[in-house]
Homo-oligomer: A and B are copies of this chain.
Amino acid sequence: MSRVRKIDHVAVAVRDVDEAVARFRKLFGIEPVARELVASQHTEAVLLPIGESHIELIAPRGNAGLERFLDKRGPGLHHIAIEVRGLGEVLAALRALGVELIDQTPRVGARGHHVAFLHPGAAGGVLIELVEPAPEP
């Protein structure tokens, strides 16, 4: 059985979060449901809900990799986050397959979720984040 549940979010790299929020409001009438400084990733993140998923606007707040992305490509699609059941087991299975991981074990990302990134080379050029919501307290 697949452990894949849904697309949690599609991340868009932006320089100006407020401008991007205003743009998506104008285009589609979408209002943010969350805005957060994500200390572990050195980013600011805003979530725009679409169905069971979100567009996540991310701007660097000390994240050198994201700064380089913006310098090189400009604003645009950055990564896709897939919600899975049992993130630890999924990472172990991927490691056993020889898949290159950026995060060997889950860490805490936006919304307190457990997250781990695969190396873009592992998914044919696509940066993939795996996400599992933290258990309810």
Contact = CB atoms under 8 A, between A and B. Distances in A.
A52 B127 CA distance: 21
Interface residues of A, number: 45
Question: Chain A interface secondary structure, helix, strand, loop or mixed?
Answer: mixed
A4 interface: yes
Nearest to A29: B2
Contacts of A124: 12, 14, 19-20, 23, 75-76
Interface of A: 2-7, 10, 12, 14, 19-20, 23-24, 26-30, 50-53, 55, 73-80, 82-83, 94, 97, 99, 118, 120, 122-128
29 contacts: A2-B28, A3-B28, A3-B29, A4-B29, A4-B30, A4-B50, A4-B51, A5-B51, A6-B50, A7-B7, A7-B51, A12-B124, A12-B126, A14-B124, A23-B123, A24-B123, A26-B97, A27-B94, A27-B118, A52-B53, A53-B53, A55-B80, A73-B73, A74-B125, A75-B126, A76-B120, A76-B124, A77-B126, A77-B127
